[in-house]
Amino acid sequence: MRTRTAAGPVMPPREMIRTFGPFLRPVWPAYLLAVVLAIVVTGIGLLKPWPLKYLFDKVLVPEASYDAADVDTILLLIVLALAGIAILDSVTTLLRDYVLTAVGERISAEIRTALYSHLQSLSLSFHQSMATGELTTRLTGDVEKVRALLTGTLISATGNILTLAGMTGVLLVLDWQLSVGLLVVLPLLVLTVTSFRARIKAVEEHSREVEGDLAAAAQESLTAIKLVKSLGRERHESARFGAKSHNSMQAILKATRTTSGFSLALDVVVAVATAALVWLGAQRVVSGALTPGDLIIFTSYLRDFFGPTRSLSKLPAQLARAGVRAARIADILEREPAIVDRPDAIAATPPRQELRLDDVTFAYEPGRPVLKDVDLTIPVGQTLAIVGPTGAGKSTIAALLCRLQDPTSGRVLMDGVDLRDVTGESLHAQVGLVLQEAQLFRASVRENIAYPRPRASLDEIVEAARVALAHDFITALPHGYDTVLAERGASLSGGQRQRIALARAVLHGAPVLVLDEPTTGLDARSEHAVLRALERVGASRTVVVITHRMAAAMTADDIVVLDGGLVVEHGNHEALWAAGGLYAEMCRIQGLGDTTDADLFTGPPGRHAADLGLYLPPAEQLLADDG
């Protein structure tokens, strides 16, 4: 069972091993080699002072008389032993560190990849509820802490335990009375550790929480940099980030002060204990109970004894800190994807008859439906526009058609087959989605268009761009199709970004295209260009246009009006305008008069749109001027 702290639940060591053990299995032989090398390094460390013992007992303060040749031989052997032990220690330590690094990086790569892949499978609602900076921190900092625990911390703890066991055994053989004095010091160390443990855990958890807030603030501000600059809020954002950075600095300094105080307290206990035990050891040498060489062994072990003891005393705090990070990773890995393929799911085929929403109700939260008993039929080859005020449930229908969500009740059907009965991969090959804000990557135009089909030829990419009326402005870019776009396509206009997204959808080749607010935020020229591109892209496809822009809806074969999650009107433009309901009201609000001409935006060049109160220049001029 996980305990909870201010920073979140803490994963117990046993559960941690059970969760992350599978990531250790592929590297188990190398991990075992690292453990063996750690044991060898421990054994070599125990051997280090023994040549000095013989140097004192056999050469500097000999118990028996030796001739010069014997002394020289013993001294040579001692020097060779010192050099050999030092070289062997360096080589084995180097091998241990390399193997641990290789194992650790492999483990962290596997955990990070599994975590990222699982994030890809989780629902949109999960991603909308989590800050991007927070998820990024889990992929980087949290994974690194778990890696350090599974490799460095546990291996180091194993070596420290073996070191203490070996030293204790040797010291008991050398002088059990002095060894008992050494063991008396251990309760003081335990008391020191206990008094600091809770404080260290608290400050470390607070430091981690502040670190996550800082990362989230940076991610949020940089993502919205256009808004920040357009409103002149650079100083405000700098001040906000500076305040969070200051909080992070204060938290880290507080954690450092606490851990430094802990180290100081341990050092004081160790120093006093060492001084006392050296004094007692010297008394034992004077009394003849120990040789000078034995005292060298004892003082050397004594010096090294408290290092592993201090490291092990910090282990509970390290486990607690890593436990918080591990719990945060496990929290994501344990989440079940909302949309999964059924075991008997079949492959979706291109629709031949219709798409249909059959009595569909959907709620993001229980008891608060955003769609209520919706029935819709979309014949293959036709264009359906879904309009309505903000919050009416339009984008939810887009998500249901692409199966980014499943209905709470009812069914979404393709040629009578429930979308839940087909595989997600095959469905996404049949239904494409173009979002309100075109999602472009920091890559070339060619790579952005070819995203759904990375191996598409340049001819195929160019043809898709031509269909989407994007070829002309792409070739005018500095490097044409090889021009690398700025992040999120910021170097292009809104209309240009949207047409590249349409070209991507064309190349994708899905027979059903769902357009979620494709003209929102565009000026008249850009909107006109995108509408012309939509007309060409949708000529051979089944198209669903989700929009609140009536200019994008009025040329559709069929129009559905949503309000409050209900279908309140249904028909073509002429019928809905004549009905004088919500659709007609929305047309009037947007400045569209009684126009029933389907060529309002796609008619002859230079047509006067009197009812709009504007003059649309020839399409060629609009396309040239856009962006």
Distance CA 350, CA 368 (A): 34
pLDDT value at 56 more than 90:
no
CB 577 within 8 A of CB 408: no
What per-residue confidence (pLDDT) applies to 226? 62
Distance CA 481, CA 72 (A): 80
Domains 3-333 and 354-572 share a fold: no
Query: Residue holding tokens 């591990």?
Result: 326
CB 449 within 8 A of CB 420: no
For residue 373, the SS3 value is: strand
pLDDT value at 536 more than 80:
no
* Average pLDDT estimate for 179-205: 74
CB 125 within 8 A of CB 8: no
**For the range 1-4, what are the long-range contacts, defined as Cβ-Cβ under 8 Å and sequence gap of 24 or more?**
2/327
Residues in the chain: 627
Please name the residue ranges forming H helices in 372-440. Answer: 394-401, 424-430
Q: Which residues pair with 4 in a beta bridge?
A: 9
When pLDDT is cut at 50, 70 and 90, the band that residue 1 belongs to is very low
CB 360 within 8 A of CB 371: yes
CB 545 within 8 A of CB 518: yes
Distances (CA, A) of 493 to 57, 439, 527, 614: 86, 13, 11, 22
- 299, amino acid identity: T
pLDDT value at 256 more than 60:
yes
Distance CA 367, CA 484 (A): 47
Q: How many CB atoms lie within 10 A of CB 536?
A: 15
Lookup: tokens for 64? 């028996």
What per-residue confidence (pLDDT) applies to 609? 35
Residue 7, CA atoms < 13 Å, CB-side half-sphere:
26
What per-residue confidence (pLDDT) applies to 600? 41
Lookup: tokens for 154? 């546990």
Report the greatest alpha carbon distance in the chain.
124
Q: What percent of the chain has pLDDT over 70?
A: 87
When pLDDT is cut at 50, 70 and 90, the band that residue 599 belongs to is very low
Pick from 145-149, 419-423, 525-529, 596-600 the range whose average pLDDT is largest: 419-423
Q: Which residues, at least 6 apart from 295, have a Cβ–Cβ distance to it below 8 Å? A: 281, 282, 284, 285
When pLDDT is cut at 50, 70 and 90, the band that residue 88 belongs to is very high
When pLDDT is cut at 50, 70 and 90, the band that residue 69 belongs to is low
Q: Which residues, at least 6 apart from 547, have a Cβ–Cβ distance to it below 8 Å? A: 385, 386, 387, 394, 515, 517, 518, 519, 520, 553
Helix axes 524-537, 458-467, angle to 10 degrees: 120
Query: Residue holding tokens 């039929």?
Result: 377
Distance CA 533, CA 468 (A): 5
What per-residue confidence (pLDDT) applies to 568? 92
User: Greater confidence, 429 or 230?
Assistant: 429
Could you tell me the strand order of the sheet in which 542-546 lies?
431-434, 512-516, 542-546, 383-387, 558-563, 566-571
CB 563 within 8 A of CB 388: yes
pLDDT value at 91 more than 90:
yes
What per-residue confidence (pLDDT) applies to 410? 92
Lookup: tokens for 454? 């990375």
Task: Give the H or E element holding residue 449.
Answer: helix 445-449
What per-residue confidence (pLDDT) applies to 6? 41
Phi-psi region of 368 (alpha: psi -120 to 50; beta: other; left: phi over 0): beta
User: Where do the domains of the chain lie?
Assistant: 3-333, 354-572
pTM listed for this prediction: 0.62
What per-residue confidence (pLDDT) applies to 626? 46
Distance CA 495, CA 562 (A): 26
Q: Which residues, at least 6 apart from 300, have a Cβ–Cβ distance to it below 8 Å? A: 48, 49, 52
Distance CA 58, CA 54 (A): 5
Could you tell me the strand order of the sheet in which 409-414 lies?
368-379, 354-365, 409-414, 417-418
Supply the DSSP string of 220-269, one letter for each residue.
HHHHTHHHHHHTT-HHHHHHHHHHHHHHHHHHHHHHHHHHHHHHHHHHHH
* Average pLDDT estimate for 554-559: 87
Pick from 16-30, 204-218, 236-250, 401-415 the range whose average pLDDT is largest: 401-415
What per-residue confidence (pLDDT) applies to 417? 92
For residue 5, the SS3 value is: strand
When pLDDT is cut at 50, 70 and 90, the band that residue 115 belongs to is confident
What is the CATH code for 354-572?
3.40.50.300
At 542, give phi and psi (nearest 5°). Answer: -85, 125
Domain 3-333: state its class.
mainly alpha
What per-residue confidence (pLDDT) applies to 218? 79
Lookup: tokens for 129? 């509820």
| Among 94-98, 176-180, 567-571, 590-594, the least confident range | 590-594
Q: Chain centroid to CA 129: how far?
A: 14
What per-residue confidence (pLDDT) applies to 440? 85
- 29, amino acid identity: P
What per-residue confidence (pLDDT) applies to 593? 59
Lookup: tokens for 309? 């003891």
Lookup: tokens for 538? 């949708």
Distance CA 483, CA 501 (A): 16
What per-residue confidence (pLDDT) applies to 68? 62
pLDDT value at 42 more than 90:
no
Lookup: tokens for 275? 């001084």
What per-residue confidence (pLDDT) applies to 116? 86
For residue 568, the SS3 value is: strand
Distances (CA, A) of 9 to 128, 142, 320, 322: 22, 14, 10, 11
pLDDT value at 64 more than 70:
no
- Per-residue pLDDT of 610-623, as tens digits, reads 333 333 334 334 34
Distances (CA, A) of 370 to 171, 337, 365, 549, 605: 75, 21, 9, 21, 42
| Among 317-321, 352-356, 409-413, the least confident range | 317-321
What per-residue confidence (pLDDT) applies to 202? 77
- Per-residue pLDDT of 129-153, as tens digits, reads 777 767 887 888 788 888 888 887 8
pLDDT value at 248 more than 90:
no
- Per-residue pLDDT of 478-509, as tens digits, reads 999 999 888 777 778 878 888 888 888 888 88
Distance CA 495, CA 56 (A): 87
At 597, give phi and psi (nearest 5°). Answer: -85, 115
Q: CA gyration radius for the chain?
A: 36
- Residue among 514, 564, 324, 492 at smallest CA distance from 405: 514
Distance CA 618, CA 620 (A): 5
What per-residue confidence (pLDDT) applies to 16? 74
- Per-residue pLDDT of 348-404, as tens digits, reads 888 999 999 999 999 888 888 899 999 999 999 888 999 988 888 888 898 899 888
Average pLDDT, the chain: 80
